[in-house]
Amino acid sequence: KIVSQKINVRKLGIGMDFTIGFDDYNQPVAVKINQSEKLDYFIFKNSFGFWQGLQALRPIDSQFMHAAGVIDDTLYEAALSANVPLSALDNFMRVMGFSVDFQRQLQQGDAFELVYKKTTDRITGETLSVGEVHYVGMVLSGKKIGYYRHQNNNGSIGWYDKDGTSAVRTLMRTPVNGARLSSSYGMRKHPISGYNKLHKGVDFAVPSGTPILAAGAGRIEMAGWNGNYGRYIRIRHNNTYQTAYAHLSAIAKGVYAGSQVDQGQVIGYVGSTGRSTGPHLHYEILVNRRQVNPMTINLPTGKNLSDVDKNSFENTVKNLNQYIINNDIKNYAGATL
């Protein structure tokens, strides 16, 4: 009753922490409610015996964390060895997945790095959040590639290399995060029929139930059963590009012919329906309705950095690189320091 007089109890979410303080007579004299990572709300009985409410900012510390490693076996295992949080690795894969072929480009001795943000409660020392990535980089066969997270003047978030070129492409080459390609585009022996045929797409060998992401924004043209393809989705992105996804175990709720999807939205889940020997995603890109090689097609980039944002972006790069210098970190993929 006391709490309801001070705050709207209907807005108190499930799992929200609170603490009640009692006096020597076991009577409640104070309540503390953790409204968010940064806000606490106190309700307490003052010296006049009246209940009073007070909102207080919690002291929060934010710091950059750097993780890097050399790939001896798989990128996933190297990232785990470097103690990369899974949420940060997921963001790393999403950004790099626009331009990196994780099957054919990765070699033993290649390197990766990322910088992510960690927030802690200064009072308790508890980690509040981790994983918001601000830089991703790789060295592939000696070639450096790196992208910086930047908030543009209009509030949007973009990823750019040091020259302001966008990391984003019209379509994602790898619409499942961290996937291991089981067969690349080109002539191969069909695993069921046994004869060689042009495999017009790529197969991502990942466990059944792995979420499948829309490679780009667009309208669903087909979502349902499609013969040997099993459960199947095809998206029309614009007048030129379509993408197709086959052998799904299930189609996500709200995905149906005519519905609109955003790039990176979960549209279905990996399975082995139709003509398939095991769980995998068969992925195709179509240009003017003709299937092309998803791994080598030259996809147009997203919107590059505007002239208005260049000065603030230069500060973004400078601040992050200064952090690397100050912490004596070996830089694998970023700008030469």
pLDDT digits (tens, 9 = 90+) for 161-208: 988 999 888 888 888 865 454 455 555 555 555 544 445 788 888 889
Tell me if residue 251 falls in helix, strand or coil: strand
Across the chain, what does the average pLDDT equal? 82
Banded pLDDT at 238 (limits 50, 70, 90): very high
User: Is the model more confident about 242 or about 306?
Assistant: 242
Report pLDDT for 337. 39
Range ranked top by mean pLDDT from 88-92, 131-135, 211-215 = 211-215
Burial 63-94 (b: 16+ CB within 10 A, else e): ebbbbbbebeeebbebbeebebbeebbebbbb
Q: How confident is the model at residue 10 (pLDDT cuts 50, 70, 90)?
A: low
- Alpha helix stretches (DSSP H) within the chain: 2-6, 75-81, 86-96, 310-326
- pLDDT tens track for 58-114: 777 888 889 999 988 778 888 889 999 888 888 888 888 788 767 667 788 899 999
pTM: 0.68
Q: Is the pLDDT of residue 260 over 90?
A: yes
Q: Which of 71, 295, 318 is nearest to 174 (CA)?
A: 295
The pair of structure tokens assigned to 3 is 């709490």
Three-class SS state of 91: helix
Task: Report pLDDT for 25.
Answer: 80
254 Cβ partners below 8 Å, 6+ apart?
none
User: Is the pLDDT score of 42 beyond 90?
Assistant: no
326 Cβ contact partners less than 8 Å away, ≥ 6 residues apart: none
Q: What pLDDT sits at residue 119?
A: 85
**CA dist., res. 185 & res. 284, Å (int):** 10
**CA–CA distance, 101 with 332 (Å, rounded to integer):** 19
